[in-house]
Structure 1
Amino acid sequence: MPAPDAPPLPDAVTGVLAGLRRWPDVEGADLVAADGADRLLLAELAGLLAGPGGEALTRPGAVTVLDDAHGALALGALTLGVQRPRVWQDSVVAERALDANAERLGLGGAFERQTAGAPGAALLPAGALDGARLVLLRLPRSLAALTELAEAVARSAAPDVVVLAGGMVKHMTPAMNDVLGRCFGAVHATRGRHKARALVASGPRDVEPTYPVSEQVPGGLTLWAYGAAFAGPRLDRGARALLEAVGLLPGAPGAAPAGPFLPAGATVLDLGCGTGALATSVARAFPDARVVATDVSAAAVASTALTAAHAGVGDRVETVRDDAGRDLPGASFDVVVCNPPFHVGAAVHTGAASRMFRTAARVLRPGGALWTVYNSHLRYRAELARVVGPTTQVARDRTFTVTRSVRSQESAR
């Protein structure tokens, strides 16, 4: 158990944190690669390593790092003397940021990466946790995501495992303690530092896995969701607005004002697929269409694969875990549908959406269309016209706007 007053971080660790970059994640003056929660967790780890039995935590495989944002926890732990920690990250952007930072520091290959299980299986495989004595965890924003991770640790880690779960105080809630308390016999909070706090959990309980979950939504579609998938098994309002605008929900007016939604035999990209509502709805409505669904999140990709499979279109919906479509070939799609995020982590930021618009311009064939739904106050229409091509407003209310952007020859070059 961490000491009441964890020691200050060694200079070597603070130097590592100062040199980290977010790339290829969105970068900006208000966005950092290592925050107070990372520093607090590493200080608590340093206290454990300096205490009784600390040497055992340095052995290969004794420490597992979950959802490291840009490598601060894994690389900080290595600098403190932990050998070959196991690392699992939901986001492929986080994986690539960790890899890039590790290479710059000469630590490439010093940790053991774990990948998500197959759709329908546990998202966090037992191999990521088997025998782990300590788990460092960045508290996710979603209680569902925290539940899934906590259940996995309780089921698969060593009986004496200790979980250090940290976050910035402004993003933490008492419900996080309750989630950990359902999975562990003892939970307490450390003293706050760096505007952050850590929850310490031990004594794993015998718990059954909760995820994935499913729910039937309007249109007769059943959505499947792992814990970290945006909106869970519910149809989020943005996706619903887009489906209504293109006539894929019962009673919707269709897309006549903006031209036909889908040409015959089209290749369609769902960019940022979430739980697969858009990709699966398109595949169900257009049997001759080929659909590719991509997302940065392992939870989202696995959720989409399950949604499509249970809808009977799994053979026509290809799922790809990718960074805003970065690895997709250019000029390869007739239509792109996109319900972009308007935040990066906990910060409101439009950088992720802008990257997705640039991807759409690159992967659309000349004359192809990007259908986008976004919060009306964001006013993306001018950016879409500049990046993709002529943009028409299809639907708008106080909350959401749906647009159709046709790829121009200029954006094709």
Structure 2
Amino acid sequence: MPDFPYARLRRRPDVEAANLQAYDATDALLVGRALESGVPGHEIAVIGDAYGAITLPLTDAGLTGIRVHQDLATGRRALALNAEELGLAGFSPHELDGSLLDGARLVLLQLPKALAELEEIADAVARWAAADVVLVAGGRVKHMTLAQNDVLGRSFARVQPQRAERKSRLIVATEPRAVPAQPPYPVRAHHEGLVLVAHGGAFAGAKLDIGTRVLLDVLAELPGSSPASVRTVVDLGCGTGALAVSAAIAHAGARVVATDRSAAAVASARATAEANGLADRIEVTHDDAGSRIPDASVDVVLLNPPFHLGSSVHTGAATRLFEAAARMLRPGGELLTVFNSALAYRPELTALIGPTEQLRRTPKFTVTRSIRR
């Protein structure tokens, strides 16, 4: 296996920190397995390559035509930037659909955190890839569970975990089973007049997560703004789009933008908007922290920020979204945020946005309103 300069890979534009790497041992194991297989590049699909640590070593080894699906907009940008930095090409981006998997004989997968996301991926591989496809999934041993084997077993007759190496393990799935007429995702659920639709990779699935529920309760109790005063509302990190739908209903004349860096979330939010009869009122974009929204152009930002980056607890993701809200809000505009009470974001919000008041605090969640100075 040829040497590859993994240490030169960067996470940008995602959060970069001393304890956050752009690669791990699982990437190298997947690359090694692919090179040993002899499968040509145009018959290889890569799913979940966070920053290019699977795709770029394969192209560096001379394989071309590799198809890649990354859920996160930040990962897609990082792969492009790392490829440019290293002078590599030979791959093409795809969504999780037939164009990614048609004729694929080898699929390399960094195991996702959510079992629902793994189920949707496994079904897609069995549904669209070649009949003799081999799915090689890998992860860090400390994050792997027997439930992942069970999920893979729903779509493949043979699921064989391999011996752990360097604290990582591969699982090889072969012999795809017959797939149902309809894919298992997206799913939908009704919540007191609101319909949520979710793909497997969307946070909380079709459930209304607790933080969003608390924020929605607070929004329902706030004094209503005059229609003319709220022209643009952004659901930043929209997930399945519950806040965007609520905003579209509350502000009938406003432009509502739902944006998320997750492709699964974006597909879910679009489907949620359609299910609630609001597809023509809500613009949904796949973007990194709303980077395409003009500066000082937004009246209200709604935000339920994440506090994980992959499997790491890290507040950097929330900080990037606070900074994004500060950029896009007009002077006097409002950021309404819900977050884990233990994280105590209020001083940071005051520094980045402006005067911040607490609207509600429960043992688990706090809701604040920040006014852009």
User: Is the TM value for this pair above 0.5?
Assistant: yes
Considering only aligned residues, what root-mean-square deviation do their CA atoms show, in Å?
1.4
Question: Structure 1 CA distance, aligned partners of 2:148 and 2:57?
Answer: 25
Separation in 1, partners of 2:178, 2:59: 31
For residues 258 and 322 of structure 2, the distance between their equivalents in structure 1, rounded to whole angstroms, comes to 16
Name the SS of the counterpart of 1:301 in structure 2.
Answer: helix
Matches of 2:109 and 2:284, distance apart in 1? 27
TM-superposition CA deviations, 1:94-129 (whole Å, max 9, x none): 100000000011114x21211x3xxxxxxx210111
Alignment of 1:358-377 (within 5 A): 358-377=323-342
Pairwise CA distance, 1:390:
0.2
The answer for the alignment partner of 2:16 in structure 1 is: 27
1:160 is the counterpart of 2:132: yes
Which residue in the other structure is 2:2 paired with? 10
2:222 partner letter: A
Within a 5 Å distance, the mapping from 1:349-360 to structure 2 comes to 349-360=314-325
| Percent identity over paired residues | 54
Deviation of the 1:144 alpha carbon:
0.5
Cα deviation, 1:148-177, whole Å, max 9, x if unaligned, reads: 010000011111110110111111110110
- TM-score, normalising length from structure 2? 0.97
* SS across alignment from 1:72: coil
Report the counterpart of residue 212 of structure 1 in structure 2: 186
**Superimposed CA distance per residue, residues 243-274 of structure 1 (whole angstroms, 9 cap, x where no aligned partner):** 01111xxxxxx125xx9598644210000000
The aligned residue for residue 240 of structure 1 is 213
Q: Deviations over 1:263-303 (max 9, x none)?
A: 64421000000000000011122212210000001111111
Instruction: Say whether residues 1:314 and 2:303 are aligned partners.
Output: no
1:332-358 deviation line (CA, Å, top 9, x unaligned): 110000000001011000101000001
One-letter amino acid of the counterpart of residue 396, structure 1: R
1:91 is displaced (CA, Å) by: 0.8
Paired residue for 1:296, among 261, 276, 283? 261
CA distance in 2: counterparts of 1:246 and 1:315, whole angstroms = 23
Name the structure 1 match of 2:305.
Answer: 340
- Give, in whole Å, the separation in 2 of the partners of 1:33 and 1:128: 23
User: What amino acid is the match of 2:197?
Assistant: W
Show the 5 A alignment for 1:78-97: 78-97=59-78
Unmatched segments (≥5 aa) in structure 2: none
Aligned-partner Cα distance in 1 for 2:228–2:190: 28
Please tell me the residue identity of whatever aligns with 1:224.
V
- Indicate the residue corresponding to 2:33 in structure 1: 44
Q: Mark the runs of 5 or more structure 1 residues left unpaired by the alignment.
A: 1-8, 49-53, 117-123, 248-253, 409-413
Instruction: Determine the C-alpha separation between the residues in 1 that align with 2:188 and 2:229.
Output: 31
Give the Cα–Cα distance (whole angstroms) in 1 for the partners of residues 2 and 227 of structure 2.
58
Partner Cα distance (1:285, 1:367) in 2: 20
Asked if 1 retains the 8 angstrom alpha-carbon contact of 2:48 and 2:70, the reply is yes
Conserved 8 A contact 2:227-2:252: no
Q: CA 1:62–1:18 in structure 2 vs 1: closer, same or farther (change >3 Å)?
A: same
Partner of 2:92: 112
Distance 1:24 1:265 in 2: 31
Q: Corresponding residue for 2:241?
A: 276
- Where 2:338 maps in the other structure, the secondary structure is strand
Give the Cα–Cα distance (whole angstroms) in 2 for the partners of residues 189 and 82 of structure 1. 26
Q: Deviations over 1:383-403 (max 9, x none)?
A: 000000000000001100000
In the TM superposition, residue 46 of structure 1 has moved relative to its aligned partner by 2.9
Name the CA distance, whole Å, in 2 between partners of 1:87 and 1:358. 30
Q: 1:282 to 1:10 in 2, by over 3 A?
A: same
Distance 1:352 1:366 in 2: 24
* Structure-2 residue corresponding to 1:251: none
Structure 2 equivalent of residue 250 of structure 1: none
What residue in structure 2 maps to residue 197 of structure 1? 169
What SS does structure 1 have at the residue aligned with 2:184? Answer: coil
Distance 2:263 2:131 in 1: 27
Instruction: Name the structure 1 match of 2:355.
Output: 390
Q: Is the 8 A contact 2:60 2:88 kept in 1?
A: no
* Closer/same/farther in 2, CA of residues 367 and 383 from structure 1, 3 Å limit: same
SS of the aligned residue for 2:269 comes to helix
Q: Which whole-Å deviations, capped at 9, do the CAs of 1:27-86 have from their partners, x for residues lacking one?
A: 1111000111112212222332xxxxx2xx12x421100111000010111123322201
Match of 1:255 in 2: 222
Q: Which residue of 2 aligns with 1:224?
A: 197
Q: 2:79 aligns with which of 72, 80, 98?
A: 98
Q: Give 1:58-69 correspondences, 5 Å limit.
A: 58=40, 60-69=41-50
How many residue pairs end up in the alignment? 371
SS across alignment from 2:42: coil
Out of 137, 144, 155, the residue aligned to residue 172 of structure 1 is 144
Tell whether 2:125 aligns with 1:125. Answer: no
